[in-house]
Amino acid sequence: MTVTADLPSASAGSDATPGNSRPRTALFTICSNNYLPGARVLLESVRARHPDMALFVCLADRPDPMPGLYDGPFEIIPADALGIPAFESFAFSYDIMEFNTALKPFMFGHLMTALGFERVLYFDPDILLLAPLEPVLEAFDTGASFVLTPHLRQPAEGDADPDDVAIMRAGVYNLGFLGVSARTESLPLIYWWQRRLYRHCINAQDKGIFVDQKFMDLIPGFAPNARILHHPGLNLAYWNLGQARLEKSADGWFANDLPLIFFHFSGYDPRRPHVLSKHSRNFRGTHSGPLAELLDHYARLLKAHGHGQIPGGAYAYGRFASDVPIPPLVRQMFRETAPDWPTDPFRTFEAHLHRAAPGANRDRPSLVFTNFQAFLHQHFPNQRLFRDPRRLEDVLGLTLWYLRHFSHEQGIDPRLIEPVARRLGERVPQIRPVPEPAARPDVTVVGYLRTVSGVGMVARHTLSTLVNSPLQVEGADVAFGVVSDRSEHGHDAYLVEPIRGRIQLFANINADQLPLVLADLAPRLVSGYRISMPAWELEEFPEAWLGAFDQVDEIWAQSRWIQRMLAGRVDRPVVHMPVALTLEAPDTTGIRERFGLPADSFLFYNSFDFLSFIERKNPEGVIAAFQAARRAMPERRMTLVIKTLNGAQVSGKQAALRALIEADPDIVMIDRVLSRADTLGLMAACDCLVSLHRCEGLGLLVAEGMALGKPVIATDYAATTDLLTSRTGYPVSFTMIPVGENEYPMAQGQRWADPDVVHAAWQMQEVLRNPADAAERAAAARRFIDEHHSERAVRERQLARFTALGLLS
C-alpha cells in the first residue's frame, strides 16, 4: 500500500455551493463504547440549543449488540465505515487515545465529501454546551475556513499548571474543539492532516508530536481564512480557567461577564467530584462556589446517562485475535518496522513477533531470538550496547532478561513471553541411571491424595490419569503439614507406603513444602527420576524457594503461567504439562431444592477455599459485579451462590464476608465440606460460573466449569488465560495493584490483578441477554477441555515425555 496514493491528495477540494441561506451543519464527537454516556450528554446539550444541526458519533470501536447502547439524538458512524485505507493496520498502529484522535480528519472528510455538509464542528465527548455557538457560527458567516480556540489567552507563568512552556509542547490550540467549513483552502488541508495522522498520530512530545493536536499549530500559516476565537466562554477548562472569572446567575453561566458557551471537562472523574482534572494540580478540593456547582451539575448528568457502566475492557481494537492485549511496544514496533503489513495484523502480527529474528545465533534449538526480542534489543540502549544476539551467550542473556524483566508492569502480557519460556524450558536433560529392582512400578504419584482441597484434587486427577495408562502406577499420600479435611478415600486402592516408582511424580507439593515432605518421606523413598509439579500464583516465583528443585530432576508446570516464571531460573527442564480435567456429568436432580436455591432464578456460581487466601480469590469482586448486573437488569431474577470451604479456620474473614452479604436475599453462601458428587452437582445446577481471582496457578474452578459446559466469566490474568478466551468464555479486564500486607505469602513487592467490576457486570449481562451466544461459547469451552485437558490428551503428553526422556521403551 502506498499511503499517498490511497489517501486524498493536496489538490482535492472545491468551494461549497450552499443550496439555501442556511448552510448544512454537522457536529460530531469521537469515542469508544465506554465513553458513550459522555457523548450522549454532550450531544443532548447541543440538540437543546441547536435543534437543526445534524449530530454524529464516530465510534472508535466496533458496535456492540447491547440493547439501547446507541440510543440518543445522533447517528453512529463506525470508524471502519470511513473508507480509511488498510483500516486494520491503521487501527493496529495506535492505542485507544491515539486511535480516537487519529480518526478526526477522516470524519471531517467523510461528513464534508460523502455526506455533503458545508460546515462541520468537532467536540470532545467530555464537553458540555451551555449556550448557543453564536461566535463560532458568526466566524463561519464571515468567511472562516477553520475555527480554532487557543489553550491560553495570555501568558501562563509562575504557579500556572499547565504553564505556557507545557502548552508549547502539547499544542497552541486545543483540539477538543475544531470547526471547518468546506472551502477550497480547507479540504486540501484536511487531506494533509489525514496523511499525517495515518502514520504519525502518536503521543511523542519529545519529538514535537502530540497526537492530532500539534499539526494544527501550522494551520493559521497554511489557511489565510483560519480564525482564532478568543472568547473566554469558548473551551473553558483546567488549562485556562485561571485566566477567567467563572460566575453563575439566574441567566446562566458566565466567563468574564460573557456567556460561558462550552466547558471542557478534560480529565474530570465524577468519582472525585471536587477535583476538576487529573491533569492539573490546580482546582482541587472545590467544594463550593460556581465551579463546584458546575462540576456537580456535570457529574449528575453523567451518572444519569450511565457513566461508568460500560467497560473500557470491551474495546475492540485493544487485542490480537487470540485475545492477548496489544502492548504499546508492539504497536510501536509495527509502526516502525512493518507499516505496510500485507494482512490483518490483529490476526497475523502476533505470530511474527515469535519468529526467529534474522541474523541471530541459532546454535541451541531451545534459544530462539525472536523478532520482538530483536526490537526490544534495539529499543533499550543498555541491552543494545552490551549484548550481541549473534553470540550464543548473549542470546541466552537476552532471553533471560526478556523472561525476567517484562511483565504487566512494562505493559507486556505474559502470553507474549510464554512461547520463549516454552522453548527454553522444554529441553531433554542428561538422565542419570535409575536402578531397576524386580517388580518395580513405573510411576508413583506422591501428593495430598486424601485431602479435601484444590491441591488434593490435582494430585487425584494426576493419579487417575496415569492409572488408566498401560503403566504400573501407585500412589503415596502425604499428610505432613495438612490442616484441611482428609476424608477423600476414593483412591485408597492405589495407595502404598514405600515410594518405589522408577518415576516419582510429586503432584502439587509446593516448593516451600517439598524439602520438608521429602525429609518426612525419606524412610519410604528409593531412588528414582523425580518430577515436581509445583503450584504458584504470583508473577515472580520466590527466589528463596528455587533451591528446593535441586532435589528433583525435572519440573512439570501445570500452566504456561508457571512455566514462564521458572524457565531459565532453575537448571532443570521446565515442561508445560496440563492437568487432566475431565469430569463425569453429575446428577443435578433435586440439587436446588436441597440447597434452598430458587428454581426460577438464574444462578451465578463462585467457589473458593478460605485457606487459599480470600484476598486472592476475591469474592468481594464477584459480589459487587453481581449486584451491579442486577441493578442493570431489574427485570431478570438472578442469584449468586458462593460455595466456600474452611471458613472456620479463618473465622474473622468468614464473618466479614457474611456481614457483606447478610442484607442481600439474592446471595446464598454455603460453607461446608461436600462430597465430590455434591460439589459437582451444585456447580452443574447453576447457570454460569464466575471467578474474579487476582491470580491463579491453575484455575481449577474455571476448568471445571468449562468441562461441565457452563458459561464461565473469569479474570483475564494468570493461569486461566490457558483456558479462557472470548471464544470459550467471558474474560474480564483488570488493572495491576500491589499485593497487600499479609494477603499472600512471599508477596513483598509483587503485584496482582484487580478485576474490573464494571466489565465483569457487563459480561454477566451479556450471558443473560444472549443465551445462544453463551451456549455456543460454553460448547466451545467443553470441546477445548476435551481436546487439551481430557485424561486421554494429558496421558498422551505424559507418556510422550517419559518416552522422550528414555524412561519408557
**DSSP state for residue 111 in the 8-state scheme:** I
pLDDT higher than 50, residue 1: no
The grid coordinates of residue 5 equal: 496514493
What's the start-to-end Cα distance of the chain, in Å?
A: 56
Is residue 213 within 8 Å of residue 224, measured between CB atoms? no
Picking from 21-25, 530-534, 535-539, 544-548, which range would have the lowest pLDDT averaged per residue? 21-25
Is residue 101 within 8 Å of residue 235, measured between CB atoms? no
3-state SS, one letter per residue, for 631-680? HHCCCCCEEEEEEEECHHHHHHHHHHHHHHHCCCCCEEEEECCCCHHHHH
Rounded to an integer, the average pLDDT of 645-667 is 91
Closest CA relative to residue 638, chosen from 587, 686, 706, 580: 686
The grid coordinates of residue 793 equal: 490428551
504 pairs with which residues across the strands? 444, 530
Q: Return d(Cα 448, Cα 460) in angstroms, integer.
A: 8
Looking only at the bridges linking them, the beta strands covering 119-123 and 177-181 are antiparallel
Is residue 67 within 8 Å of residue 769, measured between CB atoms? yes
The grid coordinates of residue 766 equal: 451479556
User: Given 3.20.20.70, 3.10.450.50, 2.40.10.10, 3.40.50.2000, which CATH number is that of 599-789?
Assistant: 3.40.50.2000
Closest CA relative to residue 70, chosen from 83, 52, 57: 57
Amino acid occupying residue 529: Y
- pLDDT at position 15: 41
Is residue 449 within 8 Å of residue 459, measured between CB atoms? yes
- pLDDT at position 6: 61
**DSSP state for residue 542 in the 8-state scheme:** -
Q: Return d(Cα 696, Cα 637) in angstroms, integer.
A: 31
Picking from 110-119, 587-596, 597-606, which range would have the lowest pLDDT averaged per residue? 587-596
In whole angstroms, how far apart are CA 420 and each of 404, 407, 526?
12, 13, 35
Written as one string, the DSSP assignment of 367-379 is ---BHHHHHHHHH
pLDDT higher than 60, residue 372: yes
Place of cell 446507541: 70
Distance of CA 798 to the CA centre of its chain: 33
- pLDDT at position 12: 40
Picking from 124-133, 218-227, 281-290, 623-632, which range would have the lowest pLDDT averaged per residue? 281-290
Q: Return d(Cα 327, Cα 413) in angstroms, integer.
A: 7
Distance of CA 346 to the CA centre of its chain: 16
- The number of C-alpha atoms within 13 Å of 771 and in the hemisphere containing its C-beta is 3
Is residue 54 within 8 Å of residue 77, measured between CB atoms? no
Distance of CA 453 to the CA centre of its chain: 30
Q: In this prediction, what percent of the chain has a pLDDT beyond 90? A: 77
Q: Return d(Cα 563, Cα 578) in angstroms, integer.
A: 11
Main-chain dihedrals φ then ψ at residue 289, nearest 5 degrees: 95, 180
Among 360-374, 580-594, 615-629, top mean pLDDT goes to 615-629
User: CATH number of the domain at 443-576, please?
Assistant: 3.40.50.11930
Rounded to an integer, the average pLDDT of 383-390 is 87
In whole angstroms, how far apart are CA 751 and each of 312, 535, 735, 736?
21, 17, 10, 6
- pLDDT at position 177: 98
Lay out the sheet containing 246-249: strands in order across: 246-249, 252-255, 258-259
**DSSP state for residue 267 in the 8-state scheme:** T
- pLDDT at position 217: 95
Picking from 115-119, 272-276, 429-433, which range would have the lowest pLDDT averaged per residue? 429-433
Residues constituting the chain? 809
The grid coordinates of residue 674 equal: 461436600
Sequence-distant (≥ 6) Cβ neighbours of residue 772 within 8 angstroms: none
Among 55-59, 447-451, 678-682, 699-703, top mean pLDDT goes to 55-59
693 pairs with which residues across the strands? none
In whole angstroms, how far apart are CA 464 and each of 274, 348, 442, 579?
60, 39, 15, 11
The grid coordinates of residue 467 equal: 492409572
- pLDDT at position 432: 58
Furthest CA-CA distance within the chain: 104
736 pairs with which residues across the strands? 753
pLDDT higher than 90, residue 789: yes
The grid coordinates of residue 731 equal: 474474560
Q: Is the peptide bond before 586 cis (omega within 30 degrees of 0)?
A: no
Query: If DSSP codes are grouped into helix, strand and coil, which group holds residue 207?
Result: helix
Q: What CATH fold (topology level) applies to the domain 24-242?
A: Spore Coat Polysaccharide Biosynthesis Protein SpsA; Chain A (3.90.550)
The grid coordinates of residue 307 equal: 457513566
Is residue 252 within 8 Å of residue 263, measured between CB atoms? no
Q: Return d(Cα 434, Cα 362) in angstroms, integer.
A: 33
Sequence-distant (≥ 6) Cβ neighbours of residue 85 within 8 angstroms: 1, 3, 6, 7, 198
The grid coordinates of residue 397 equal: 542473556
- pLDDT at position 130: 97
Closest CA relative to residue 309, chosen from 715, 625, 59, 768: 625
Is residue 423 within 8 Å of residue 472, measured between CB atoms? no
* 24-242 and 443-576, same CATH topology: no
Place of cell 537448571: 571
Q: Is 564 exposed, middle or buried (0-12, 13-18, 19+ CB in 10 A)?
A: buried
Greater model confidence, 749 or 481: 749
Rounded to an integer, the average pLDDT of 667-678 is 90
Q: Return d(Cα 129, Cα 259) in angstroms, integer.
A: 11
Q: Return d(Cα 524, Cα 476) in angstroms, integer.
A: 10
pLDDT in tens, 683-696: 999 999 999 999 99
- pLDDT at position 440: 87
Closest CA relative to residue 246, chosen from 196, 307, 291: 291
- pLDDT at position 433: 54
Quote the pTM value: 0.89
pLDDT in tens, 426-485: 877 666 555 565 578 999 999 999 998 878 888 998 999 999 899 999 999 998 888 778
pLDDT in tens, 291-336: 999 999 999 999 999 998 999 888 999 999 999 999 999 999 999 9
- pLDDT at position 423: 92
Domain segments of the chain: what residues? 24-242, 328-425, 443-576, 599-789
- pLDDT at position 316: 94
